[in-house]
């Protein structure tokens, strides 16, 4: 999870080159008649998928740095079956389908779970019309078999630049002329790029005509991405900042977002315009100022489909009714983005209506803070929610796959979050990300909290490298003792490490603090400790500081004896006033009978039931549970990592996790 604050400085020098052009430049270069050098490439995860797929098809990509690559084209298409892994990228899948059909390759296209749900029928029909043998297939997106292509007259059934581009790439290998006619004008990067490279591609209104022939080798320099720049522009407007976004692609078919905002009164101007490879490029100047209700036409939606969600987020900050026409295509993106918008609007307490094609949002302009959103695994939803959280002053979201499309997203917003996390083996169900996100929201600290599952046989060097990369880490089994040894800790077992303080265990504080909060008198008292693991031992050392008399009880008697010997504990303690159990519910735990002298119990487990806790509740005894311990430990760790005071707000945390159905 990631928590944001509103302390940011828009970094206009950290830009992301255009993702749409990056895909197309690599593909066009891979079928050109010689090596092509592409500069200012964006190596997002989606573009990496295209790079890997082209290499599998026989292209040779040689990187000078992260933004410069020389593409040596596919000289001889592979004769064997190629698996084309498209990852999360619909652009990779659809455009390479046309290219593979043209090359006559036998290819199986696969992708991640999100991509596997996206519609591919819209692609299969037009390519079949050209003679391509492309079929839906079990276990993959689709399969293409070698075939000879012929030209065709194709009329678009959906507004899709990806389908159009697939047809254009296939048409470069067809035996006669192909014409593709659109319903509304979609982005025309493929046509302009291939014209720049000397391919016989002509445009006339909504029609594109393509004749057979490979493009010629020509250097390609890519401008920056207007879709990526939109997030900086939105944040600037919402927070009353000015920003200048330089060297941005200004193709009119990509500016729907900016057109809608200009209509709403935003002071957005284009400067230093020039033509590069047939594309208009320039700077976008955004000046602070109020905006009115947002209204998006069908054409503007086509020209800014990827930014509709961002416009919807901006609408929440503006009082009034906002309309977005022709946005039904959003249901077929990485997730159902209409459903994602509904989720965002609902969490913010506003109203949303979708009639199947048009979206209406009604807002009072007041966005609450301390929000938690689902990203639906969609990179653009995650980025939109980040803008919302920052602009609202404080907030959080869950896992944030920004690098799918924008590797420098947070840096572009001028944000450098602290990196916090948890290492262990079986940590998928940990509540720590929720707790740390809540603490970060309350403290106004921008941070990420990552689950870092590791195998038990990870090397010491690998462990130390992970610790070095993070600003703070929680440590759980089986690494507590190992990390203590590697870092030279003064205690045998640690669960909290970070910069600026010695490794330590917060178990003792996590026990004592909630006991005191509940008014439990434990100092100098006889107590039973159930369990003999690391947490039990850490609490033994803490309770001995308070003069407690302790008896250790464990299913494995030898383990209990080892702790008794190590800390010179008596074998028996009569009439305990408290029983503290550090074992999960099991036959052994359920068989324990609370003595009559018992006045309170502490149960470290919080993910299940407890026989001890049930007995205590039936007798009306005080029960302190592991969730309270977990909160106290987490609050102490967060304070050490961030230099902020320990937050004593367990009740607020309970309300938070109940609100979002965590418990």
Peptide bond connecting 148 to the previous residue in cis, omega within 30 degrees of 0: no
As a whole number of angstroms, the distance between CA 577 and CA 600 comes to 7
Q: What does the DSSP assignment read for 328-368?
A: GGGGGSSS-HHHHHHHHHHHTT-EEEE-SS-EEEEE-S---
As a whole number of angstroms, the distance between CA 393 and CA 374 comes to 18
pLDDT exceeds 90 at position 486: yes
Residue-level pLDDT at 441: 84
Residue-level pLDDT at 102: 96
The phi and psi torsions of 545 (rounded to 5 degrees) equal -65, -25
The phi and psi torsions of 473 (rounded to 5 degrees) equal -140, 140
**Cβ contact 191:202 at 8 Å:** no
pLDDT band at 487 (very low <50, low <70, confident <90, very high): very high
Render pLDDT for 530-575 as a digit per residue (tens, 0 to 9).
999 888 888 999 999 999 999 999 999 999 999 999 999 999 999 9
Q: Where in the chain is the domain with CATH 3.40.50.720?
A: 508-630
Q: β-strands 472-475, 418-424: how paired?
A: parallel
Q: Where in the chain is the domain with CATH 3.65.10.10?
A: 19-221, 231-391
User: 3-state class of 634 per DSSP?
Assistant: helix
As a whole number of angstroms, the distance between CA 102 and CA 292 comes to 49
Helix pair angle (226-238, 19-30), 10° resolution: 170
pTM of the model: 0.79
As a whole number of angstroms, the distance between CA 385 and CA 408 comes to 16
Render pLDDT for 275-302 as a digit per residue (tens, 0 to 9).
999 999 999 999 999 999 999 999 999 9
Considering Cα of 388, then 389, then 392, then 393, what sign does the dihedral take?
negative
**Cβ contact 432:447 at 8 Å:** no
Residue-level pLDDT at 183: 93
**Cβ contact 578:600 at 8 Å:** yes
Q: Considering just the CA atoms, what is the radius of gyration of the chain in Å?
A: 30
Residues 6+ apart with CB under 8 A from 1: 396, 397, 398, 399, 433, 434, 436, 437, 448, 449
Using alpha carbons only, give the angle 502, 506, 512 rounded to the nearest 5 degrees: 135
**Cβ contact 203:178 at 8 Å:** no
Residue-level pLDDT at 289: 96
3-state helix, strand, coil in the chain (%, to 5): 40, 20, 40
Render pLDDT for 372-404 as a digit per residue (tens, 0 to 9).
788 898 999 999 998 998 898 766 676 677 888
Render pLDDT for 618-641 as a digit per residue (tens, 0 to 9).
999 999 988 999 999 999 999 999
Residue-level pLDDT at 590: 84
Residue-level pLDDT at 442: 86
Domain 19-221 has CATH 3.65.10.10: yes
Q: What is the CB neighbour count within 10 angstroms for residue 381?
A: 28
Residue-level pLDDT at 428: 87
Residue-level pLDDT at 607: 61
| Superfamily covering domain 231-391 | Enolpyruvate transferase domain (3.65.10.10)
pLDDT band at 430 (very low <50, low <70, confident <90, very high): confident
Please report which helix (H) or strand (E) contains residue 441, including its range. helix 432-443
User: 3-state class of 11 per DSSP?
Assistant: coil
**Cβ contact 503:494 at 8 Å:** yes
Residue-level pLDDT at 445: 87
**Lowest mean pLDDT segment, chosen from 3-7, 95-99, 215-219, 280-284:** 3-7
Residue-level pLDDT at 84: 96
As a whole number of angstroms, the distance between CA 167 and CA 154 comes to 9
**Cβ contact 470:601 at 8 Å:** no
Among the four given CATH numbers 3.30.1330.30, 1.10.287.130, 3.40.50.720, 3.40.50.261, the one describing domain 508-630: 3.40.50.720
pLDDT band at 23 (very low <50, low <70, confident <90, very high): very high
Residues 6+ apart with CB under 8 A from 587: none
Residues in the chain: 663
Render pLDDT for 437-472 as a digit per residue (tens, 0 to 9).
889 888 888 888 999 999 999 999 999 999 999 999
pLDDT exceeds 80 at position 136: yes
pLDDT exceeds 80 at position 266: yes
Render pLDDT for 42-60 as a digit per residue (tens, 0 to 9).
999 999 999 999 999 999 9
| Mean pLDDT, the chain, integer | 93
Residue-level pLDDT at 535: 83
Residue-level pLDDT at 395: 67
Residues with catalytic function: 306
Residues 6+ apart with CB under 8 A from 376: 334, 335, 336, 339, 340, 343
User: 3-state class of 302 per DSSP?
Assistant: helix
As a whole number of angstroms, the distance between CA 66 and CA 43 comes to 7
Render pLDDT for 212-223 as a digit per residue (tens, 0 to 9).
999 999 999 999
Please report which helix (H) or strand (E) contains residue 474, including its range. strand 472-475
Residues 6+ apart with CB under 8 A from 493: 480, 481, 484, 505, 534, 537, 538
Residues 6+ apart with CB under 8 A from 506: 495, 496, 632, 633, 636, 637
Listed in order, strand segments (DSSP E) in 476-599 are 496-498, 526-530, 549-553, 578-581
The phi and psi torsions of 625 (rounded to 5 degrees) equal -105, 170
Render pLDDT for 343-360 as a digit per residue (tens, 0 to 9).
999 999 999 999 999 999
Strand-pair partners of 221: 39
């Amino acid at each position: 999870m990631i928590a944001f604050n509103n302390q940011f400085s828009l970094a206009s020098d950290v830009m992301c080159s255009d993702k749409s052009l990056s895909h197309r430049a690599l593909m066009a270069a891979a079928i050109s008649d010689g090596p092509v050098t592409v500069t200012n490439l964006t190596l997002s995860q989606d573009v990496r998928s295209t790079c890997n797929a082209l290499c599998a098809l026989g292209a040779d990509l040689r990187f000078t740095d992260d933004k410069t690559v020389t593409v040596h084209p596919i000289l001889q298409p592979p004769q064997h079956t190629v698996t084309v892994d498209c990852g999360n990228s619909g652009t990779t899948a659809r455009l390479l389908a046309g290219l593979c059909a043209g090359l006559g390759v036998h290819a199986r296209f696969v992708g991640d779970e999100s991509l596997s749900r996206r519609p591919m029928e819209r692609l299969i029909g037009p390519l079949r019309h050209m003679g391509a043998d492309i079929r839906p297939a079990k276990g993959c997106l689709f399969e293409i078999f070698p075939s000879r292509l012929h030209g065709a007259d194709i009329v678009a059934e959906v507004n899709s630049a990806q389908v159009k581009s697939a047809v254009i790439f296939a048409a470069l290998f067809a035996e006669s002329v192909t014409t593709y006619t659109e319903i509304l004008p979609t982005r025309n990067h493929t046509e302009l790029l291939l014209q720049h490279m000397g391919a016989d591609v002509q445009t006339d209104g909504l029609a594109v005509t393509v004749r057979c022939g490979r493009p010629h080798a020509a250097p390609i320099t890519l401008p920056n991405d207007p879709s990526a720049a939109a997030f900086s522009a939105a944040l600037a407007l919402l927070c009353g900042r000015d920003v200048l976004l330089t060297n941005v692609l200004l193709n009119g078919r990509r500016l729907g977002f900016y057109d809608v905002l200009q209509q709403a009164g935003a002071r957005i101007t284009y400067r230093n315009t020039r033509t590069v490879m047939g594309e208009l490029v320039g700077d976008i100047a955004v000046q602070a100022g109020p905006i009115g209700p947002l209204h998006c036409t069908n054409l503007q939606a086509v020209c800014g489909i990827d930014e509709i969600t961002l416009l919807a987020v901006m609408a929440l900050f503006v009082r009034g009714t906002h309309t977005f026409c022709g946005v039904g295509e959003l249901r077929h993106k990485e997730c159902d983005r209409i459903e994602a918008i509904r989720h965002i609007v609902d969490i913010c307490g506003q109203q949303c209506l979708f009639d199947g094609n048009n979206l209406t949002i009604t807002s009072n302009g007041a966005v609450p803070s301390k929000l938690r959103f689902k990203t639906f695994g969609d990179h653009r939803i995650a980025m939109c929610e980040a803008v919302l959280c920052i602009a609202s002053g404080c907030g959080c979201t869950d896992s944030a796959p920004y690098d799918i499309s924008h590797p420098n997203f947070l840096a572009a917003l001028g944000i450098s979050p602290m990196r916090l996390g948890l290492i262990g083996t079986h940590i998928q169900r940990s509540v720590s990300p929720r707790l740390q996100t809540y603490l970060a929201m309350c403290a106004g600290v921008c941070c990420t909290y990552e689950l870092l599952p590791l195998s038990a046989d990870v090397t010491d060097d690998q462990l130390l490298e992970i610790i070095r990369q993070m600003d703070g880490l929680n440590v759980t089994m089986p690494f507590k003792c190992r990390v203590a040894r590697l870092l030279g800790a003064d205690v045998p077992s640690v669960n909290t490490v970070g910069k600026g303080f010695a490794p330590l265990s917060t178990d003792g504080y996590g026990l004592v603090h909630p006991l005191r909060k509940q008014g439990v008198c434990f100092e100098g008292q006889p107590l039973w400790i159930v369990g003999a693991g690391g947490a039990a031992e850490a609490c033994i050392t803490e309770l001995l500081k308070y003069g407690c008399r302790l008896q250790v009880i464990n299913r494995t008697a030898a383990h209990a004896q080892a702790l008794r010997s190590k800390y010179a504990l008596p074998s028996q303690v009569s009439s305990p006033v408290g029983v503290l159990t550090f074992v999960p519910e099991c036959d052994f735990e359920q068989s324990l009978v609370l003595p009559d002298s018992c006045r309170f119990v502490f149960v470290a487990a919080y993910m299940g039931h407890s026989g001890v806790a049930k007995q205590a509740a039936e007798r009306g005894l005080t029960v302190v549970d592991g969730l309270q311990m977990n909160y106290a430990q987490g609050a102490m760790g967060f304070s050490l990592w961030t230099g902020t005071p320990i937050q004593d707000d367990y009740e607020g945390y309970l309300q938070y996790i109940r609100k979002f159905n965590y418990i």
